Amino acid sequence: MRSAPATPRPELGDVRAILFDTFGSVVDWRGSLIADLGGWAAGRGIAGDWAGLVDAWRAAYAPSMDRVRRGELPWTILDDLHRATLEGLVARFGITGLGDADLDHINRGWHRLKPWPDAVPGLTRLRRRYIIGPLSNGNVALLVNMAKAAGIPWDMVCSTELFGHYKPDPETYLGAARMLGLAPGQVMMAAAHNGDLAAARACGLRTAFWPRVTEYGPRQVRDFAADAEWDIVAADIEDLASQLGV
């Protein structure tokens, strides 16, 4: 972990908005879902390997978006991709006795994700100077409900749903900047994922990275550290605020 230098960065003086990757970067999807679903199932006597299901669910995330990207599926919001995947996983994990309302409740676990401890304090500081919002593959309803439940103080909610493209398609980064009336260089993409930042940088956005080394639990294989010279490399979102002097 780096300590936060107090030096201002004049080359970042044009940045007006910071857009955050959400799953993994701002909220702990894995820990939240395992606790949420495990607790809910225990209360109902429903046995299941919830950690295994959650890991498999997330493993299906990129392939399901790729089907949209390749045109095999028409534009489909993430809630609906999640739900389609979930139905197969419940069968695969041998979890029985779930009705439609149960599956809806499980699927909406993604609306109930909890922020990492530094997220809300860091965002609250950054909001004093910057427009802050998500730029997430989560659909608008998911992101709005998540922010409402978790107290995430977004100025606005930007989902890739608005552009009919999933990240890392360039339409998402460029669409967000245009929608905010800003040039790409006035927008900073902030994420715990090097790939997201590489795609944003290719579109001209500024970039900020911090690691989430437990995001994937024991299965994590990447994003333990910055793998390029991003504009800012921070320890977490509070450190990002410190490095930006807010």
Cβ 219 to a copy of itself, closest distance in Å?
Answer: 30
Q: Which is nearer to a copy of itself, 59 or 179 (CB)?
A: 179
Cβ 222 to a copy of itself, closest distance in Å?
Answer: 32
For residue 113, what are the CA distances in angstroms to 12, 21, 184, 223? Answer: 31, 14, 29, 21
Angle between helices 50-59 and 78-92 (to 10 degrees): 130
Q: How many Cβ atoms from other residues are within 10 Å of residue 93's Cβ?
A: 15
Q: Which is nearer to a copy of itself, 110 or 210 (CB)?
A: 110
**Residue 240 DSSP symbol:** H
Cβ 237 to a copy of itself, closest distance in Å?
Answer: 19
Q: Which is nearer to a copy of itself, 2 or 148 (CB)?
A: 148
Contact predicate 238/119, CB 8 Å? no
Cβ 113 to a copy of itself, closest distance in Å?
Answer: 16
Cβ 155 to a copy of itself, closest distance in Å?
Answer: 6
Helices (H) and strands (E) in the chain, counts: 10, 6
Nearest to 149 by CA among 190, 121, 108, 118: 108
Sign for the CA dihedral angle at 120, 1, 136, 98 comes to: negative
Nearest to 142 by CA among 18, 23, 19: 23
The number of C-alpha atoms within 13 Å of 164 and in the hemisphere containing its C-beta is 4
Contact predicate 236/122, CB 8 Å? yes
Cβ 77 to a copy of itself, closest distance in Å?
Answer: 9
Q: Which residues bind a copy of itself (CB under 8 A)?
A: 79, 131, 139-145, 147-148, 154-157, 161-162, 179-182
Q: Which is nearer to a copy of itself, 156 or 228 (CB)?
A: 156
Q: Which is nearer to a copy of itself, 34 or 135 (CB)?
A: 135
Q: Which is nearer to a copy of itself, 54 or 157 (CB)?
A: 157
